[in-house]
Amino acid sequence: MRQIKYRDALREAMSEEMRKDPSIFLMGEEVAEYNGAYKVSQGMLDEFGPRRVIDTPIAELGFAAVGVGAAMNGTKPIIEFMTWNFALLAIDQILNHSSKTLAMSAGEFSNPIVFRGPNGSAGQLGAQHSMAFESMYASIPGLKVISPSNGYDAKGLLKSAILDPDPVIFMESEMQYSDNCDIPDEEYYIPIGKADVKREGTDCTIISFNKMVKTSLLAAEELAKEGINVEVVDLRTIRPLDIETIVASVKKTNRCVVVEESWPYGSISSEITYQIQKNAFDYLDAPIKRVTGADSSMHYAANLVEAYLPNPSRVIQAVKSAMYK
């Protein structure tokens, strides 16, 4: 094992696959000459050249469309959005073209493309740069949605996403790019659609994804000091959802708290709650609790950012509410 940054794990995933397959290329704003807005693609232009690491204009709709068309013609594009907030400009290409290629061609051909970039809040960036989009893209048939919580998972899942025949939405966290992670020296892949139990427990299940897994683990550590043994399940993949792992954990602990960064209405936590009640209702000893972002836009002020986001204290309160009703 060796320790590298989250951003370096992403770069390794792309570079390893690009060395094997010349049809894979990276395209996006500042990915080449500037080495990436967050230095994820640092050095890739030098290795692969300007035909495979391609700087684009500030035009998400345009370069997303180029990627979708290229995928229809036999290549495997990786399209980097500087933030998923900006990807709203490309939603027509993702929703009306990429996600529907397989269905509209009657299964004749798919659209093997990865759309990736940072998602969710990253401090004081204001309302237009702080949204978490997992639930929006997960609602679209034809897309796979991945939202990893650490560099190890991100590398293995990104490699699998690049090889996947379907379009994949890959959502990272800007706040985690500098996090250290242990990466094996040997090559590895993590299957899409498989959750991971990050902490074993018996008293209550916390289900989360992306950087909220870190928040959930901090809450679990504090709860352990009070004798409450919490299990933390990291979804890793939002669509397809690993219902089997979720249900198995709830059947073991009989209680559940779902933690996510996004808005509560129409959320991933809503879908998880439905799936648990459908598949494990008789095992629940208390109503399912959820901890989400506030049902509002995120404002710039630091105290309002703090009030908006889930934190360990709110997660602890939710677990205790499930434990003691």
187: DSSP letter? -
Catalytic residue among 97, 129, 172, 271: 129
3-state helix, strand, coil in the chain (%, to 5): 40, 20, 40
What does the alpha-carbon distance between residue 28 and residue 41 come to, in Å, rounded to a whole number? Answer: 10
Catalytic residue among 12, 60, 172, 271: 60
Please indicate whether residue 60 is annotated as part of the active site.
yes
Please indicate whether residue 134 is annotated as part of the active site.
no
Say which residues have a Cβ less than 8 Å from residue 76's Cβ, sequence separation at least 6: 21, 23, 24, 25, 112, 113, 114, 162
CA dihedral sign of residues 21, 23, 28, 32: positive
H helices present in the chain, as ranges = 6-20, 44-48, 60-72, 91-92, 101-104, 134-138, 151-163, 212-224, 243-253, 268-280, 302-308, 312-324
Name the residues annotated as catalytic.
60, 129
